[in-house]
Amino acid sequence: MDYEFLISDLNLNKSKKNIGTDKGLAKIGDGIVNLTYSVAKSIYLTKNNPNNTIVRTGKKVGKNILEVALKNADMKTFAKTRANAHDLADTVEALIAYVWLNNTISTKEIIDLLVENFSGNLYDRQEEIKSAILAFTNLLNHIKKFLPEK
Amino acid sequence: MDYEFLISDLNLNKSKKNIGTDKGLAKIGDGIVNLTYSVAKSIYLTKNNPNNTIVRTGKKVGKNILEVALKNADMKTFAKTRANAHDLADTVEALIAYVWLNNTISTKEIIDLLVENFSGNLYDRQEEIKSAILAFTNLLNHIKKFLPEK
């Protein structure tokens, strides 16, 4: 895709905070997170279904999951100072949108990475939260090298 | 992408209603619709911005917009009988998810098609609704040929 012009201002003036606190990026990222999570969860549940039936599902990823993932990946420096849980989740979404719009990572790569990091029984709410936190933590660790250091 | 296995049951038993009333597909489609609309709106606003500044934004597409688009494209036959507005919107989302998972249309193609069909001042709520209805109507007309006839 060729949508880098949507982040050319951020690429001209690259900084952790400029990218991590951009509200528009967070809105686009919200869409990427929810779509990739829904497809990844459908794939995982289909591949691990003892009845061999296909499962299609969708899920909004909770802000608390993204917040904890950002902390676990040690990337709170991308968020604004005195950020609350909602701000931290927005930062995760902004970072994912940034690398996606920059063609650093594709929708498919995000989906595949999430699927690889899922484990256990995703029908169990607590196990799903644990799996989702681990998956987004590893996604953040993966994209860290494509983000500015300052 | 290679996620056709997520719709292999629907491809084995292809019918308008099987695809158009699938609740899991609708959930995945919800993510596709919101992501592509957000990026398309950002592109349109950036390209038509008199100040030459970049606009990044996101938007959940209202159920009423999708409902009217389905009617305008004359595709209510994909929805369940006695469908309400919510059901009709779900049908639009299911159909979009089906062609997307089938690799018939890519995220980029959906975004480009939406941008091409936008017009007027999207900051005006009424103009945005008019533009969005036209864009989704044309998207549905475009994918119709990839969907079963019965």
Residue of A nearest to B98 (CA): A56
A68-91 average pLDDT score: 97
Interface of B with A (CB under 8 A): 1, 3, 5-9, 22-28, 30-32, 34-36, 38-39, 42-43, 46, 53-59, 97, 107-108, 111
pLDDT at B88: 98
Specify if A3 maps to a domain: no
B13-37 average pLDDT score: 97
User: Based on the structure, what is the number of domains in chain A?
Assistant: 1
CA–CA dist B18, B63 (Å, integer): 21
C-alpha Rg value of chain A to the nearest Å: 15
Contact A77, A16 (CB under 8 A): yes
Indicate yes or no: CB of B38 within 8 angstroms of CB of A28. Answer: yes
Specify if A21 maps to a domain: no
Specify if B91 maps to a domain: yes
Q: pLDDT category, B59, cuts 50, 70, 90?
A: confident
What single-letter DSSP state applies at residue A120?
S
With pLDDT > 70 as the criterion, what percentage of chain B qualifies? 100
Assign residue B107 the CATH number of its domain: 1.10.1520.20
A97-111 average pLDDT score: 97
Indicate yes or no: CB of B108 within 8 angstroms of CB of A38. Answer: no
Nearest by CB to residue A108, choosing from B1, B8, B35, is B1
Nearest by CB to residue A58, choosing from B27, B57, B58, is B27
With pLDDT > 90 as the criterion, what percentage of chain B qualifies? 95
Q: Give the distance from residue A75's alpha carbon to the nearest chain B alpha carbon, in angstroms.
A: 23
Specify if B12 maps to a domain: no
pLDDT at A138: 98
**Helix, strand, coil percentages, rounded to 5, for chain A:** 70, 0, 30
Specify if A76 maps to a domain: yes
Specify if B4 maps to a domain: no
CA–CA dist A81, B37 (Å, integer): 31
B32-43 average pLDDT score: 98
Q: Give the distance from residue A131's alpha carbon to the nearest chain B alpha carbon, in angstroms.
A: 20
Average pLDDT for chain A: 96
Q: Is the pLDDT of residue B1 over 80?
A: no
Q: What is the separation, in whole angstroms, between the first and last Cα of chain A?
A: 27
CA–CA dist A127, A131 (Å, integer): 6
pLDDT at A1: 74
Tens digits of residue pLDDT in A114-123: 999 999 999 9
ipTM score assigned to the predicted complex: 0.95
Tens digits of residue pLDDT in A40-75: 999 999 999 888 899 999 989 999 999 999 999 999
Tens digits of residue pLDDT in B103-133: 999 999 999 999 999 999 999 999 999 999 9
Residue of A nearest to B46 (CA): A6
User: Which runs of consecutive H residues, i.e. helices, occur in chain B?
Assistant: 8-12, 16-20, 23-47, 63-72, 85-101, 107-117, 125-143
Q: pLDDT category, B51, cuts 50, 70, 90?
A: confident
Q: Give the distance from residue A25's alpha carbon to the nearest chain B alpha carbon, in angstroms.
A: 6
Q: Is the pLDDT of residue A36 over 90?
A: yes
B8-17 average pLDDT score: 94
Residue of B nearest to A3 (CA): B43
pLDDT at A32: 98
Structure tokens, B119: 């017009």
Q: Give the distance from residue A58's alpha carbon to the nearest chain B alpha carbon, in angstroms.
A: 5
Q: Give the distance from residue A29's alpha carbon to the nearest chain B alpha carbon, in angstroms.
A: 8
Specify if A42 maps to a domain: yes
Nearest by CB to residue A6, choosing from B22, B28, B42, is B42
pLDDT at B52: 83
CA–CA dist B131, A134 (Å, integer): 40
B130-139 average pLDDT score: 98
What is the extent of the structural domain holding B137?
Answer: 18-146
